[in-house]
Amino acid sequence: MSIKISASTNPPKINELNDYIIKLDKEDIDYIHCDVMDGRFVKAKTFGPRKVAEINRLTEKTLDVHLMVKNPAGKIKKYIKAGADILTIHYESIKNKKKIVDVLQKIKKLGAFAGLSFNPTTSVLEILPYIYFCDMLLVMSVIPGKSGQEFMPETLVRLDTINKFLKKQKMDVVLEVDGGVNDRNINLLKEKNVNSVVLGNYLYTSGDLKTAVSKIKTDAPKPETKGEEKLKKTKTNKTKAKKTKLSKK
C-alpha cells in the first residue's frame, strides 16, 4: 500500500465545497479531512457537525474529522453521529490535561478512531505519554488555522523522536502529517514512516487532481500497519450500514 491521502476541506469556500467533495470522491484518495474550526481555538471559522453529515452523504471515503475547537469533549458525540470515522482533538484545546485520556477513550467507545494532534509550538515530549491512548497521531507541520503555509522542516526532527518512542514501546499508531505537504517534500515524510498526509492547498490549486494525487502516491509498496487494517474494517462496516439504511428509504 502507498501512503494514504487525506484530502482537506480547506481551502475551498463553503459554497464550492460540495462540488469539490464530489470531485475528490472520484479520485484515488483515501480520506476526506474535515477541518472543523470554531473561530476561537484558531482565528478561522469553518463548519460544524451538520456540514460533516452532509459531506458524509456525498462520499464513501473515510471521514477524517479534525477538531480545531475549544473544549471538544462535549462535541465529539455529534461529530461521530455525523459520520466521523476518525475524530482528532487538539492537545492544546483541553486545559486540564488529565481529561485528554478520557476524551480519547470516549471517542473509541463511541466507535470512531481516536486521534490526537498538537501544534508545532508544543514539545513532542509532552505528547508521548498520550500516544498509548491514540489510534492516530496527527503531527501539525504548520500553525493550524490557515491553508497555504510552508511546511516546517523541523517537523522531520519531531517525527524522529516519535518514531524512536514507538519503536522502543513496540507500538502501532497511524502517523499523519498536516500542513504544507506537496510533491516536493513527500519523500522526506515517507522516509519517516508517515502513513497518511493531509493535502489542502496542493490538491486544490493543482488544476489536475489525478496528476497531483499520482505524484504523492507513486512509491514502492508499503505494508499496512495494524492500525490502518483496523480502520479499514471499521469503515467497511460503516459503509455497509450506510448503504443498508439508504436502501430502506
pLDDT at 247 over 50: no
Nearest of 230, 227, 197 to residue 215 by alpha carbon: 197
For residues 102-130, average pLDDT? 97
pLDDT at 23 over 60: yes
As annotated, the active-site residues are 35, 178
For 171-222, how does the pLDDT look when each residue is reduced to its tens digit (9 = 90+)? Answer: 999 999 999 999 999 999 999 999 999 999 999 999 999 999 999 998 644 5
- How confident is the model at residue 241, as a pLDDT? 53
- How confident is the model at residue 246, as a pLDDT? 33
pLDDT at 41 over 90: yes
Chain center to CA of 17: 18
Domains delineated in the chain = 4-247 (3.20.20.70)
For 155-174, how does the pLDDT look when each residue is reduced to its tens digit (9 = 90+)? Answer: 999 999 999 999 999 999 99
- How confident is the model at residue 244, as a pLDDT? 35
Question: By percentage, how much of the chain surpasses pLDDT 90?
Answer: 84
